[in-house]
Amino acid sequence: MTPGTHKLPPLPYDYNALEPFLSEKLMRLHHDKHHAAYVEGLNEAELALAAARDSGDTLLVPYWESRRAFNEGGHVLHSIFWRGMTPVGGGGEPGGLLGALIERDFGGYEKFRAEFTAAAKGVEGSGWAMLFWKRGMAGDHLEIAAVLNHENQALWQGEVVLVCDVWEHAYYLDYLNERAEWVDVFLDNLVDWEQAASRILR
């Protein structure tokens, strides 16, 4: 991909499609301002990084690499986050293969739910609760991580299955400071488990 040419993808549903759980006002702000800022920041960082490399400015290279990682993480995770929610029939306990894997790797949906919620609450400041599919010598399996900011990618070597945004901009307008209430609503009413499962099976 040519550096500096990332574009903000549209939401996969209308801005008001997730009401009453997420308001149109919050969705417009979150997508059109916050996600857009990460796309802009990623493009800026890619161009500046290329320029710094061309000019041989070795002091600036790590700075722009760090800016790129932050903004790329934001762009990628928001893209997964939007697709991981559905206006119709979202949330609750998944069936199928993902349901079976949650049973195998967490000992059941309720235990998964408690662990995911704890990760979301445990993020200090801004970040994400993440369910990811880890491939490794111990065998492929599901894991949960509390991700600070966006870019701590070392944590989730593997495929991101589901993310819940717990930056304040993701819920404050509708839930004020009640992050736990937002995470409950996300899990009980919004998660698109079919979409999440497809991220493992593809």
List of residues contacting Mn ion (CB under 5 A):
165, 167, 170
Comparing CA positions, the residue from 145, 153, 91 lying closest to residue 115 is: 145
Q: Could you tell me the smallest distance in angstroms from the CB atom of residue 104 to Mn ion?
A: 31
Q: Could you tell me the smallest distance in angstroms from the CB atom of residue 77 to Mn ion?
A: 8
Cβ nearer to Mn ion, comparing 126 with 195: 126
Cβ nearer to Mn ion, comparing 147 with 170: 170
- What single-letter DSSP state applies at residue 124? -
Q: Could you tell me the smallest distance in angstroms from the CB atom of residue 80 to Mn ion?
A: 11
- What single-letter DSSP state applies at residue 191? B
> In Å, how far are 115, 148, 165, 180 from 118, measured between CA atoms?
5, 14, 14, 9
- What single-letter DSSP state applies at residue 156? G
Report the C-alpha gap between 38 and 41 in whole angstroms: 5
Q: Could you tell me the smallest distance in angstroms from the CB atom of residue 83 to Mn ion?
A: 14
Cβ nearer to Mn ion, comparing 41 with 94: 41
Cβ nearer to Mn ion, comparing 94 with 165: 165
Q: Which residue is nearest to Mn ion (CB)?
A: 165
- What single-letter DSSP state applies at residue 190? I
Cβ nearer to Mn ion, comparing 16 with 149: 149
**Which residue carries 């991580």 as its tokens?**
145
Cis peptide before 10 (omega within 30 of 0): no
Q: Could you tell me the smallest distance in angstroms from the CB atom of residue 167 to Mn ion?
A: 5
